[in-house]
Amino acid sequence: MQAVQSEFLAIDRKTRVYMPFCDLPMRPPEERVHDFEDVMRPLAEECAMWHASRCIHCPDPAPCMVACPTHNDIPSAMWLIEQGRFKEAAEIYHKTSSLPEICGRVCPHEALCEGSCVLNKYHEPVLCGPLEVFALDWERANDPYTVPVGKPTGKKVAIVGAGPSGLACAHELVVRGHAVTIFDAKPAPGGLLVYGIPNFKLPKTAFFQKWDDLRKAGIKFVGNTYIGKDKTIDDLFNEGFDAVFIGVGTGKDARMDIPGEDLPGVYEATDFLIRGNVDPKYLPKDKREPLVIGKRVVVIGGGDTASDCLRTALRLGAEEVTCLYRRTEKEMPGNRKDRQLAKEEGARYRFLTQPVRFIAGEDGKLAAVECIEMVLGEPDAKGRRKPVPVEGSNFSVACDTAVKALGYWPDPILGETTPGLETHDWGLITVVDRETGRTSREGVFAGGDVVTGPDLVVTAMVSGRKAAEAIDAYLQTK
């Protein structure tokens, strides 16, 4: 239910529909491609108020709220921003989201809230994402949020994985008064927010400020601890935890299984992104060596990770950065906006191109990728036309570095080391009920990518929040 109702509107809907759109303060590509800073400058207060006043306040439930996986009350937030009541706007987001300052930056808004905005019929949608970031940044600078920690219940919950699902679950559990410890294989918390999504999309400071809020709320973090190797889920119960949430994501890069894949100069996307983007002090020791990428970089794949790798390669100084994708642009799964930014920054695209072999130079390092041309054939089970190789069309693309951005799989280790925990499809954790994240093992809940397969920050966050509610109910029965 929207907190602010449309009868309070001072400007009528028709006037709002035709209010002109003023451009966002984007940094020009020739400037932003030289650093890893945010691609957009902060919105000025007047500019944010103008953009918010374009919201026509659709009848409840507004399409943007329905399309948002966490059902943020966007119209009410817009109403408050329009009037300069920025703190109250930020509070609206805190009601439904544990990571609003992150989701405002990284959600694919064009496919969710902004994609469903009625103004798309006329011109540009309301800028739900940048305005969410504006309200949360204003709050942090002027009147910081503190997590409303609940009265202690004496119950302890272990969270495995400090990505969006684990952090959201932890946040909701401390609000309910439970003591929470997060275990993670990496030295620092954040999951893909730190060890994946590049700085120019999500500045690390935005994440670490958020982490500081959670830490101050009493959430403990134990890094460098791989559950399944260093200790098991059973060990956690033996240590006195009353319930466990698993949010370990899908951290294994997919392989291509073609010759030359292990040559020096061929990288997995995650390795390339973290070594290119993350301060070495947050990296495991074996990832601290600086990347040497040469002048020509190819990125293989068509999703968001491919866009992130292309843009990282450009920022690392590569002169020729090319995406190789086996279908056409129309079939590309990645976010259109990120692809547009990559093109503006100088990335090139070669469609209907499938690598078949990595070729070494005389020094034993990668020198080229042999590819084959493709055509689109019949639709596959998902309705996407299947790429078919054109016999004899092989050609090679010279390159110093190749990055494979082809998708991710879970590590099956938790299923293998936890009696009674059911998994499927190479290690994804089976949940008995998506609404609660309850698994086949009593007291163990799961959410995020390790349940759904690779998805989004916001969907992982929502699953963590739902699981926290279910864990709270479970702990009350004990």
Per CB under 6 A, the list member of 197, 314, 352, 429 interacting with ligand FAD is 197
Q: Give residues 437-466 in contact with ligand FAD (rule: CB under 6 A).
A: 448-450, 454-458, 460
Cα–Cα distance between 476 and 478 in angstroms, integer?
A: 6
Q: What minimum distance in Å lies between the beta carbon of 406 and ligand FAD? A: 11
d(CA 308, CA 37): 14
76 close to 2: Cβ distance less than 8 angstroms: yes
Which amino acid type is present at position 287?
Answer: K
Residues 68-107 binding ligand FAD (CB under 6 A) are 106-107
Q: ∠331-127-332 over CA atoms, to 5°?
A: 10
Residues 278-307 contacting ligand FAD, CB under 6 A: 304-305
CA atoms within 13 Å, Cβ hemisphere of 123? 10
The phi and psi torsions of 319 (rounded to 5 degrees) equal -95, -30
The mark string for 160-189 relative to ligand FAD (x by CB under 6 A, - otherwise) is xxxxxxx----------------xxxx---
Nearer to ligand FAD, 373 or 449 (CB): 449
Q: In the complex with ligand FAD, which residue's Cβ is closer, 182 or 374? A: 182
Q: Which residues contact 390 (CB under 8 A, 6 or more apart)?
A: 372, 373, 374, 375
Strands 156-160 and 243-246 come out as parallel
Decide: is 308 part of the binding site for ligand FAD (CB under 6 A).
Answer: yes
154 — alpha (psi -120 to 50), left (phi > 0) or beta?
left
With beta carbons less than 8 A apart as the criterion, state whether 366 and 266 touch: yes
Binding of residue 111 to ligand FAD (CB under 6 A): no
CA nearest 198: which of 51, 327, 299? 299
- In the shown chain, the binding pattern of residues 35 to 74 toward ligand FAD, with x for contact by CB under 6 A and - for none, equals ----------------------------------------
Stretch that binds ligand FAD, among 5-13, 156-164, 216-224, 358-366 (CB under 6 A): 156-164
DSSP 229: T
Identify which range of 149-157, 158-166, 256-264, 387-395 contacts ligand FAD by CB under 6 A. Answer: 158-166
Q: Kindly identify the residues of this chain, within the stretch 395-414, that bind ligand FAD according to CB under 6 A.
A: 411, 413-414
Q: Does 247 bind ligand FAD (CB under 6 A)?
A: yes
* Site for ligand FAD, rule CB under 6 A: 106-107, 160-166, 183-186, 191-192, 196-197, 201, 226-228, 247-249, 251, 273, 304-305, 308, 411, 413-414, 448-450, 454-458, 460
